[in-house]
Structure 1
Amino acid sequence: MTSKSVAIIGTRGYPSYYGGFETLVRRLAPHLAQQGWEVSVYGRKGATRTDDPSLDTRVRSIITPGVESKSLSTLSSGLTASAHAAWIRPDVALILNVANGYFLPALKARSIRTIVNVDGMEWEREKWGPSAKKVFYNGARLTGRFADEIICDSLEIKRRWHKEFDREGLFIPYGGDVPAERNDIGGYKPGSYALMVARFVPENTVAEFISAAEVISLTHDVVIVGSSGYGGVLEDRVRQLAEASPRVHWLGHLSDDRKLFSLWSNAGAYFHGHSVGGTNPALVQAMTCGAPIVARDTVYNREVMGTTGIFCPPNPAEIAKSILALLADSEKQKVLGASAIERAKTSYSWGDICRKYEAALASAAMSSGGQYA
C-alpha cells in the first residue's frame, strides 16, 4: 500500500487560530493523517502555536518566507509555499484562496493535482483597493482555468462561479465544534449581553454595529471580539467606545476557543454582519453553540441560517432595534438557540465535512495515476 500525500497551501499554518481557513486546517489535517495521508501544511513564521495541546505530530508543518503586509502577505507566502510544494511533489495540493491561482500553472507543470477552495468573492470586499481587487479577480480567472477541482463553501458561491467563470464546483461548507460544556466565562450574565465577533473590515458591518452599540450599551452590556490586525479607524472607534462606556467590553482577537464558545453560548443576542462570502465559519460556530442570532440580511446568511435567526438591514437603528428586542425576550432566545443547534448538527458537522474533503482529495490523487488501497 502506498500512502497518499497532500500539501495544504494558503493559510497561516498548522495549528493557527486566525480565521476560517485555519479552523478548517485544524480539523482536516489530523483527520487526513488518521486516514493514512502524509500531510504537509504550509504556514507563516510566528503564526502557528507549536505548544498547542491539540497539535497532531503526524502533520508536517512547513514555514516558508513571505512579506508581512496587508497587501503582500498572501501572495508572497503563496509563492514560496507553491515553489516548495512543486519541489517535493505531493500527489495533490489543497489550495485555499484564489489569490494562489497565479501559482497553479507551476504546480500543474509538475503533475501535481490541485483542488482550490475559492472562499468568497474576494474582489468584492470593500477593504481592498482597485489594484488588490484586480489581483484577486485575475487569480480567480486563473483558478477557473487551471484548477483540477474547485470547492465552494456555499450553494450561492457555486452558482456565482458557474455564471462568472463557467466552472462547476463541489459544495462543501464549513463546520462547527460542539462545545464540551456551557460555562459562564468572563463574568457576563447569560442572556443579558449583545455580542459581535468579527474581523474589523467594512464588509462585516463593524462601523454600523459600533454606532448601534452606543444605543444598546445604555441598558445592556456589549461584548466585542475581533480586530483589524493592522490598527485603523475601526479599532480606534471601538477603543474609544470601550473607554467611554463601562458596558462596552472589547476583548480583541481571541484564540481561546473555550472562552469564545462560551461567549456565543451565553449571549442574549449575537450580531453577525458579514456580507461578502459564502458559509461563514463564525456564523456556523455561533449556531453550533446555540447563540440567538441577529444577522445582516444577505443571500449567504439566509442560506446558512434558514429560519433559525433574525435578519435585519445594515443600518445602526435597525441593528439596535433588533438586538434590543431579542435581549428583552428570553423565550425567543431559547427558541432561536435550540433551532440553530439543530440546523448546525444536521448540515454543518465537521465529521461529514472532513470526509467529503478526503473523498475529493483521494479522487484527485487517483486521477494523478497513483494506485492507493
Structure 2
Amino acid sequence: MTLSKLADDDEKLVSWYKEKGLKKKNYYLVVGRFVPENSFEVMIREFMKSNSQKDFALITNVNDKFLNELEEKLHFKSDDRIKFVGTVYDQELLKKIRENAYAYFHGHTVGGTNPSLIEALGSTDLNLLVDVGFNKEVAEDCALYWSRKQGSLAKLIDKADQMSADEIAEMGRRAKMRVAEEYTWDKICGQYEEAFVNGEN
C-alpha cells in the first residue's frame, strides 16, 4: 500500500478540514456503510460517554431512517464532537484523511477479511477494532480491541487518548508491516493456488 500523494498543506485537504471543522491528528474516524451491523450505535454511544476532547468524524452515506432512530436513542446531535461529514469519493483525499486521523474505529461484525480494515491498518497508526474473530485474525497485536458491551469502547477511547506519540507510531509501524507481509497480491494468489492444487489431490 502506498501513502497519499497529497501534502498536509494541499488546498483540497485544507479546505475539507475547514469545511468539516476538523484538524489533523485530532479526530477519531470511521469510514463505512451506514448500517446497524457496522456498530454505529455502539461507536456513537461510547464516544459520547468518553472524556475525549477530540472529534469523531463519520464518513458514510447517511440513511435518514437509521440516523433518526439513532438520534432518538442517543441524542448525539447535542454532542459537538460527533460529525457526520458525508462521503469522500476522491481516493487520494480519503487516504490522507485516514493517515491524519488520531485513530480509526472498525465496527464490522459480519463478513471476513474486510478491505476497509486492511486499508485502515495500512494508513492509520492507531486502530480500535470490535473484538470479533476475523478482525483479530487480520490485525493480531497491531490494533486495540473493544467489545459491544456498555463502557468497553468508552474506556478504550480514554486509554487511547493517553497513549504517547511513540506508542502510537509503534502500533502503526507494526500494522503497516503486517499488511505488507500478509496482504500482498502475491501472497493471496499463492494461497489460492495452493488451495486449488491441494483440492485436486
- Please report the TM-score for the alignment, with normalisation by the length of structure 1: 0.43
DSSP 3-state at the match of 1:307? helix
- Superimposed CA distance per residue, residues 109-168 of structure 1 (whole angstroms, 9 cap, x where no aligned partner): xxxxxxxxxxxxxxxxxxxxxxxxxxxxxxxxxxxxxxxxxxxxxxxxxxxxxxxxxxxx
| 337, 341, 344: which one aligns with 2:179 | 344
Once residues 103 and 131 of structure 2 are traced to their aligned partners in structure 1, the CA distance between those partners, rounded to angstroms, is: 16
Once residues 44 and 104 of structure 2 are traced to their aligned partners in structure 1, the CA distance between those partners, rounded to angstroms, is: 14
Once residues 86 and 68 of structure 2 are traced to their aligned partners in structure 1, the CA distance between those partners, rounded to angstroms, is: 9
Residue 190 (structure 1) aligns with: 24
1:321 aligns with 2:155: yes
Once residues 346 and 303 of structure 1 are traced to their aligned partners in structure 2, the CA distance between those partners, rounded to angstroms, is: 14
Identity, % of aligned positions: 26
Check conservation: 2:125, 2:171, Cα contact below 8 A.
yes
Check conservation: 1:203, 1:274, Cα contact below 8 A.
yes
1:216 Cα deviation from its structure 2 partner = 3.9
Gaps of 5+ in 2: 197-201
1:206 aligns with 2:30: no
1:234 aligns with 2:67: yes
1:299 aligns with 2:133: yes
Residue 199 (structure 2) aligns with: none
RMSD over equivalenced CA pairs, Å: 2.8
1:195 Cα deviation from its structure 2 partner = 1.1
1:244 Cα deviation from its structure 2 partner = 2.9
Letter in 2 for 1:178: T
Once residues 127 and 59 of structure 2 are traced to their aligned partners in structure 1, the CA distance between those partners, rounded to angstroms, is: 15
| 82, 92, 106: which one aligns with 1:258 | 92
- Please report the TM-score for the alignment, with normalisation by the length of structure 2: 0.77
Check conservation: 2:103, 2:124, Cα contact below 8 A.
no
Once residues 52 and 124 of structure 2 are traced to their aligned partners in structure 1, the CA distance between those partners, rounded to angstroms, is: 26
Once residues 102 and 52 of structure 2 are traced to their aligned partners in structure 1, the CA distance between those partners, rounded to angstroms, is: 16
Check conservation: 1:216, 1:222, Cα contact below 8 A.
no
- Superimposed CA distance per residue, residues 40-97 of structure 1 (whole angstroms, 9 cap, x where no aligned partner): xxxxxxxxxxxxxxxxxxxxxxxxxxxxxxxxxxxxxxxxxxxxxxxxxxxxxxxxxx
Note the 1:75-94 alignment, pairs <5 A. Answer: none
Letter in 2 for 1:278: G
Once residues 352 and 292 of structure 1 are traced to their aligned partners in structure 2, the CA distance between those partners, rounded to angstroms, is: 26
Gaps of 5+ in 1: 1-176, 364-373
Check conservation: 2:44, 2:82, Cα contact below 8 A.
no
Letter in 2 for 1:348: Y
Task: Work out which of the two has the higher radius of gyration on C-alpha atoms and give 1 or 2.
Answer: 1
Letter in 2 for 1:285: E
Once residues 314 and 303 of structure 1 are traced to their aligned partners in structure 2, the CA distance between those partners, rounded to angstroms, is: 18
Q: 1:309 to 1:341 in 2, by over 3 A?
A: same
DSSP 3-state at the match of 1:288? helix
1:208 Cα deviation from its structure 2 partner = 0.5
DSSP 3-state at the match of 2:33? coil
| 338, 350, 356: which one aligns with 2:189 | 356
Note the 1:101-180 alignment, pairs <5 A. Answer: 177-180=1-4
Once residues 98 and 64 of structure 2 are traced to their aligned partners in structure 1, the CA distance between those partners, rounded to angstroms, is: 25
Aligned length: 180
